[in-house]
Structure 1
Amino acid sequence: MRRNSVTIMFGNSSDEETRKAFLRSLMALSLMRYPYYNHPVSFHQSVNFSWLYEFKNEDIVEIMKEVNPTISEMFNKCFWRGSGYDCNDMFQPQVTEEGFCYSFNSKTAEFHNMSNSTSTFKKKNGEFETLRNNAAGKTTGVEIFMLTPPEEHRLPYDTFRPAGYSVMVHSPQDYPDSSCNIAVTEKADQVYRIGISVSETEGDSSLMHLDESVRGCKAVENKHFTNDNNCHLKCRTSEIHKMCNCTPYYLQTNSSKIQTCGIQHLDCLSLNNVRLRTSIAPKGIQGFPDWSTPDFMNCDCSQPCSYVTYDSELTISHVVTGKLTFANDPSFAYIDIAYKSPFAVKYIMLAQYDISDVFVSIGGVAGLLLGCSLVSVVEVMYYFGRYVYTLYKFRFPKPYPYLP
C-alpha cells in the first residue's frame, strides 16, 4: 500500500482523524480475500475502531488499483531460463482472489504492456504466446528478486499478514487459486525454491459413450483447460452477489453493473465465509453426512475427464555467503521456480467395458454355457434353412410334365 497514493487521493488538507479512518478502511478492503472473508471484521474489532471511512462503491476499484504497488516497486530483477529480462515485459496485471497481483505466462492476465512492440514475450501478430520449458532443476525456470516496499514495515496496525508475498502456481488457462498460495517473506540470506511436478490425466474416447452421471467426469475439448478453479471462482462470485448483493473489487469488470463490496458489506461477507469454501456434496456418495456439510454453495463443479495438475513444493535454503550480493537492494526475497523433473506422469482414464467388450463377453458366455461359437450359429442357421426348404418341396411338389 503506497502512502503517497493515499495523499494524492485524499489530499493534504484533510482532517487527521478522517485520514486515519481512510487508511484503516483501505487495510480492511485489502484483507477482503478468499478464503478469509472474516479477516476485515476481525481486524476492525481487534483494534477497537469506532468508525471506518465509507468509500463510494463505484470508486473502490480505482482506489485499490491506485494503491497497488507497481512492478518496479515489487520486482528487482527477473530471469527466464537463465537469461535476464525486463520485469515489465515478463509480468502482467492479474486479477486474483487475493487482490490485484502480477502474473507470468498466464492467459487470464490483463495484457496492458503487450502493446509495446519491443516486448520479447509476444508474437509478431500481437497475440500472447504461452511459453514452454524442457529443462528442469535449479535456475532453469523463473527467477525473481522481490523487493519489499518500505511501507510494508511501517504499517501502524496488525493486519494479519506478514510483510512479503504470496506465490501461486497454476495452469496458464486458469485463474490463480489463492487457497494454494505459498507465502514468501523477504530475507536476504534465504533462497525460496519452488519445485513443480506435473501430472496429466487424459480421458479416453471410450468414456464418451457413457452418461456423465455414470463416468463421473465432464468432457472438455481442450485437455489442458482444467476448468476447476475457474468454475469455483465463478460460483463464489455468484454466491456473494446472491447473499450480499455485491461483488469484491477484484472481480469487477468494465461491463459489470453490480455494486462493489464496500465497508458496509464486510459483516455479510464474514457471515458467509464458511459457505464460500464448500460446494454441494455429490449425490449417492458415502462420506458426506448432513452434519458435515451444514452450509455450502449451490453449485456443482464437476471434475473434467482430461486435466493437467501442477503440484508445488517449497524448499528454503540459506546462502553460503550470507547475502546475495548481486542484487541491487539488500531488502529482497530471491525466488527460484522450476520443474523438479524434465518428465511428467501421464494417466489414462478409460471405461472398463466398451461396446466391443460387451459383444466379446456375450460370445464368451455363450460359448462356455452353450458349447457353440459364431461358426456353429451360422451352421445351425444354414441347416435350419435347408430343412425348411426340403419340407416346402415335399409339401408342394412340382407337377410332372404331361406325356402324350
Structure 2
Amino acid sequence: MNIVERFINYTRINTTTSREKGAAGIMPSSPGQMELATLIKTELAGLGMEDIVLRDTAILTATLPANTNKDLPTVSFFAHLDTSAEQTSDTKANIVSYQGGDIVLNPALDIVLKEAEFPEITQYQGQEIIVTDGTSLLGADDKAAIAAIMHALQVLKANPKIEHGTVKVAFLPDEEQGLRGAKAFDVESFGADFGYTLDCCGIGEFVHENWNAGNAVVTFTGQSAHPMSAKGKLKNSLLMAHKFIAMLPTGEAPEYTEGREGYYWVKEMAGNSAKTVLKMDIRDFSQQGYAHRMAFLQQLADSCQALWGEGRIDIELSDRYENVANSLEGEAGFPIDIAKQAYQRNGIEMRATPMRGGYAIAKRPPMPEYLYGCAQLPFDLRIFAGEFIAGGE
C-alpha cells in the first residue's frame, strides 16, 4: 500500500475528539480513535512488527527490532489519533492536480480555497495535493504523520539492507484536548532513547524548542468602606491590581512579541474593591530570561507590599513546563544533529522554528487544516526511512 492510499484510508475514520467525554475522564473520548488504532494494529502486525500493544485507552505501541549488531540508540516516532473538536463531519478527501490559483472544493456549496487567503498553497503548484470537500477537516493533523510512520516502517521491512537500530512507534489519543494521551503514556516502559513527534509544519520545518512556562496568581486584599466615610479608609483592591499591571514592562505582552521574544500575559482578573485575583502566564525561551521574569514579579510584589502595607498583596509563582531544548544541550543534542544530516542528504533545508506555545500544541485555525495534507503528505519522515533512523553513515 502506498502512502497516499494509507492516508486516505485513515481519513475515512472519524476520530473527532470529544471535549465532553474528555472532561468526564473518558479516553479515548470518541470510538473512532479506537477504530483507527485497531486498524493500525492490524497493519503493524502485517508488516511484522513486534511487541504490539493496544491498550483500552487506545494508546498503541509497537517495535521494529534492530537489524544490525552496531550499538545504535533506540529511536521512537509519535503521532496522535484524534482530530480537532472544531469540526465533526466525516471527511471526503479528494486528490487535486494543483496548477495555481483558487481551488474549488465544493461547487454545489460554493466553497473555494482562495489563494489570496491561503498564499502558502502556491508552493505546491504543479503537484497533486489532497483536500476535503470543504465541509470538514481533512484530518492531516495528524493522520499524515500516521501514514508517514507506517510508510517508513514498510520501507524498512521491504529493504533489509538498510541498517537501523531498534525503532519504536506510538500512536496516542486525545492530543487535541490538552495532550491527554501523552500525559497517560508510560515513557519509562516504552524504552526509547529519544523520539520525534510528527505534528505540524511544512517540509523542512523542525521544532526543537518551546517556552519555559510559568504561572503567577496575584491576590490583592483591600479594605472595604462605605463611600460616605471612605476617605482615608477605603483601599480598593481593583485599583491595586491595575497599578500592578501598569508596572509590567511595556511591550512585553503576547500582542507585541514574536519569534523568541518572551512576555508577561495578563490573562484573567476577577474581584471587587475588597479582593481581586489576577492570573498571569509567564513565557521565555531561555532559562535565564525565564528566571529573570519570575524574579521580577516577586520583586514587584515585594515592593508593592512595602508601599501598601503587610497583607495587601500575595503572589504565588509556579512552573508549568520547561523548554524541551533545555535537555538537548551539548552532547544531548545529537537527535537534532541526526535530523539535520538527514535533511541535508535529501536536499532539504532545515528551518528550526521556535514553538511559541506548549510543545507541539500550538493552536491553528480549524478550516485551513485541509492544507496540511498538501504535497507534504509524505512528511519529512520520507527521509527517515534509512539513514535518519540509522543515525548516520
TM-score, length-scaled by structure 1: 0.23
TM-score, length-scaled by structure 2: 0.23
The structure whose Rg is larger is: 1
